[in-house]
Amino acid sequence: MSSARFGRVFLTMFCLVWLMACAHSDETISAEGSQKVLVTDQIGFDFADGVNLPADTEENQRVFTMPNFRVGTGANRILIVGIQFELQGSKAIVDKVVVSGVTFGGQALTLIPGSEIQFSWKHIGIEITYKVLVYYLINPPSGSQDITVTYAGLVPSGNVGAISLYNAKQTAPLVLTTNTQNKKKKVIITKVTTKNDGAWVVDMVGCNHKSDLKPQTEDHVLRFSAQEFAGGKSSLVGGTLPVPTAGEVTLHWAMTNRYNRLAHVAVEISPEPVTQ
């Protein structure tokens, strides 16, 4: 065999071995064959907590604090905060009571457009309005800081919950859907379709009473459960679901002890790829 032919055979065998090794590594090659993207660079869970709003009918403006919420040191961090509260009275009264600000360690969070849910019903002749909203903060500071929610008006019943993640794309979360169950039920089932491979669904369910809601879908993890024991005795739960391949998934929450009116918000957090 000539030296030139031997060289071509050797080069071909070397390339085959190299490709097989890459197939079993933690890296993939883009379709163009240029940059390599780490497949291990996936969204990660950092911390979650939820607390109830103490009842106090003497305040005209409510400032509620979740103390010492922890954010880690991972890259590309994101903080998601869900807020749920109930109000009593006419529409004119309800329209004046809004969330006027949410901060983490003094940094302002932004309302996720399209994440608001509001519906009303009557109980023994009293109009009750229920609200759920979701806020976010890109790249929150690491360490333990207070989450502060300020309401412009009297809020007699409510809960706040928060979830922090890392390796998340540094853009606003995408609202996948909102869903309501304004009849008293023990379940809420919501179908969503994620847009990006490797995304996580972060979802929150507000209840007009205490609940023992738990996720029923595989890999859907309950991250916090805020249960109010005074005021309107409402609750808020939150969870995460990783979706490796973009597509439709079903978010199924169920409880055993009570029937509740329910409000469900689901948002998509996309991964932040790291190229080499």
Cα–Cα separations (whole angstroms), residue 103 to 106, 133, 153: 5, 14, 18
Residue 274 and residue 26 in contact, taking contact as beta carbons nearer than 8 Å: no
Q: Which two tokens stand for residue 186?
A: 């023990």
pLDDT tens for 223-254 read 999 998 766 688 999 999 999 999 999 999 99
pTM of the model: 0.82
Helices (H), the chain: 3-23, 91-96
pLDDT tens for 150-185 read 988 778 788 999 999 999 999 999 999 999 988 888
Q: With 50 as the cut, is the pLDDT of residue 45 above it?
A: yes
Q: With 90 as the cut, is the pLDDT of residue 101 above it?
A: yes
Question: What residues pair up with 170 in beta bridges, in sequence order?
Answer: none
> b/e for 113-123, b at 16 or more Cβ within 10 A?
eebbbeeeeee
Which residues in 167-270 belong to E strands, given as ranges? 174-185, 187-193, 199-207, 214-215, 221-227, 235-243, 248-254, 260-269
Q: What does 100-152 look like in DSSP terms, one character per residue?
A: EEEEETTEEPEEPTT--EEEEEEETTEEEEEEEEEEEEESPPSEEEEEEEEES
Measured over the CA atoms of residue 54, residue 57, residue 58 and residue 61, the dihedral's sign is positive
What confidence category does residue 31 fall into, taking pLDDT thresholds of 50, 70 and 90?
Answer: very low
Contacts of 2 (CB under 8 A, 6+ apart): none
Looking at per-residue pLDDT, the higher value among 118 and 109 belongs to 109
Residue 102 and residue 81 in contact, taking contact as beta carbons nearer than 8 Å: yes
pLDDT at 21: 38
| SS3 category, 260 | strand
Average pLDDT, rounded, for the chain: 82
pLDDT tens for 68-82 read 999 999 999 999 999
Give the mean model confidence (pLDDT) for residues 54-62.
Answer: 57
Residue 187 and residue 237 in contact, taking contact as beta carbons nearer than 8 Å: no
- Let me know if 60 is exposed, middle or buried by CB neighbors in 10 A (0-12, 13-18, 19+): exposed
What confidence category does residue 275 fall into, taking pLDDT thresholds of 50, 70 and 90?
Answer: low
What confidence category does residue 92 fall into, taking pLDDT thresholds of 50, 70 and 90?
Answer: low
Nearest to 213 by CA among 235, 240, 182, 241: 235
Nearest to 199 by CA among 173, 164, 238, 162: 173
